[in-house]
Amino acid sequence: MKYDIIVLGSGPGGYVTAIRASQLGFKVAIVEKENLGGICLNWGCIPTKALLKSAQVFDYLKHAADYGLTVGEFDKDFAAVVARSRNVADGMSKGVQFLMKKNKIEVIFGTGKVKPGKKIDVTDKDGAVTELSADNIIIATGARSRELPNLPQDGKKVIGYRQAMVLPEQPKSMIVVGSGAIGVEFAHFYNSMGTQVTIVEFMPNVVPVEDEDVSKQMERSLKKSGITVMTNASVEKVDTTGAGVKATVKTAKGEEIIEADILLSAGGIKSNIENIGLEEVGIATDRDKILVNAYYQTNIPGYYAIGDVVPGQALAHVASAEGILCVEKLAGLHVEPLDYGNIPGCTYATPEIASVGLTEKAAREKGYEIKVGKFPFSASGKAKASGNSDGFVKVIFDAKYGEWLGCHMIGAGVTDMIAEAVVARRLETTGHEIIKSVHPHPTMSEAIMEAAAAAYDEVIHI
């Protein structure tokens, strides 16, 4: 069977790539070993958001009196919460199936392995092998939970994010190792459900890739919600011989043992580049990543790679953008390399975090003379009315030319607001242009304009 393009992996990188390739007139096949939609739709982005929505509704019920409402007896059904999340994921996966049919993309289920000569062997569940060939092969095999040497995952007491989504029973206590997006989101979910949660973070701040002000606000919010936060701390070893987990945690004060029912290892991800034929084909890799040029071509002609297996931010929207750019280049369209300095990052805990561009510290280290503006949601009418006044918007501009260097938000709904900054930065919008762009009132989004005004000493409401 011969195709113009075969895509290996059907996550948000793979399936989006396949659809765009089909739109451009290519004959396309996609190889998937498990479920269409990959980790994001089935075990990542989408089902976690369903869990977090249940947590949000439960929190609203617990605080109904704050809104002048009286609610009778209520409780959560943990199994039903998990089931809803799985149903949402299944529905999204079926949606991708529909898109494959609509775009006339052939879906081949099985484990794929690239071979020399632009071929792929696909082994199905019964062990039968089918050989496919194409003019171009795009590797989009994604990533999985990284297993830390001192935290071997048994899937029961020491788990990764996948098991955390489908626990048969709600644990009474949980240790979360790592406070990136995955760690903080699960910590928030389980804490909201009533689990006693402890976060252990190796770095000095939680969500360490974020602006320092955002990190400090998130730590305050986590502690306010009842989560124990340990920074500058590391789990040295775990003992799972008893009923639960005993974690030996090293801090500046020494070592202490923390006990919990379950430990969630959220220390990052590992690219899926093993046993997919890279060595046989001669495709170059470095430090767990496939090496590619600006248009995602590997060192071997006809082989491309996108998403979590290549250098760059391991985010669903990045994988999609890379795949689209890759096949548009193959089709001969004029494309520009992706600007990895203008990629938004989002964390969906409560409060949410959204950011793009340089942090204040990074801007200063690069030698910029900067103007910084900050607008607290405590001064936002919409935030106060909705009962979500924690957080702020922080903007950073180059003092000389007004270039928008960075935007950092923490608060309710900010993941839906960050796109304004992404588009504005791409269009080289200045701080004054943001200030003079009329924002609707009352909205959370007007905090962006207010923060820009604060940077230029023109802010009205603080």
Q: Which residues are annotated as a binding site for FAD?
A: 49, 112, 308
* List of residues 6+ apart from 423 with CB closer than 8 A: none
Choose, from 432, 439, 441, 461, the residue flagged as catalytic. 441
Query: Which tokens belong to 173?
Result: 């206590």
**Integer-rounded Cα radius of gyration of the chain:** 23
Q: Residue 164 burial (CB < 10 Å; 0-12/13-18/19+)?
A: buried
Measured distance CA(245)–CA(120) in Å, rounded: 43
Q: In what order do the strands lie in the sheet with 254-260?
A: 234-239, 245-251, 254-260
The reply to whether omega before 351 is within 30° of 0 (cis) is yes
The residues near 127 (Cβ < 8 Å, ≥ 6 apart) are none
Longest dimension (CA), the chain: 69
* Tokens found for residue 312: 């760059």
Work out the burial of residue 250: count CB atoms within 10 Å of its CB; fewer than 13 is exposed, 13-18 middle, 19 or more buried: middle
Task: Please give the Cα distance from 187 to 195 (Å, whole number).
Answer: 9
**Residues annotated in the binding site for NAD(+), as ranges?**
178-185, 201, 268
Tell me the HSE value of 335 on the side-chain side, using a 13 A CA sphere.
19
Judge whether 407 and 393 are in contact, CB under 8 Å.
yes
For the question of residue 441 being annotated catalytic, the response is yes
Centroid of chain to Cα 261: 26
Distance CA 356, CA 359 (A): 8
Taking the CB of residue 256, how many other CB atoms lie within 10 A of it? 12
Task: Give the annotated binding-site residues.
Answer: 49, 112, 178-185, 201, 268, 308
Angstrom distance (rounded) from CA 173 to CA 81:
18
Rounded to 5 degrees, what angle do the CA atoms 267, 268, 274 make? Answer: 125
CA angle, 284 then 285 then 290, to 5°: 100
Helix, strand, coil abundance in the chain, percent, nearest 5 = 35, 25, 40
Contact 17, 4 (CB under 8 A): no
Catalytic positions are: 441
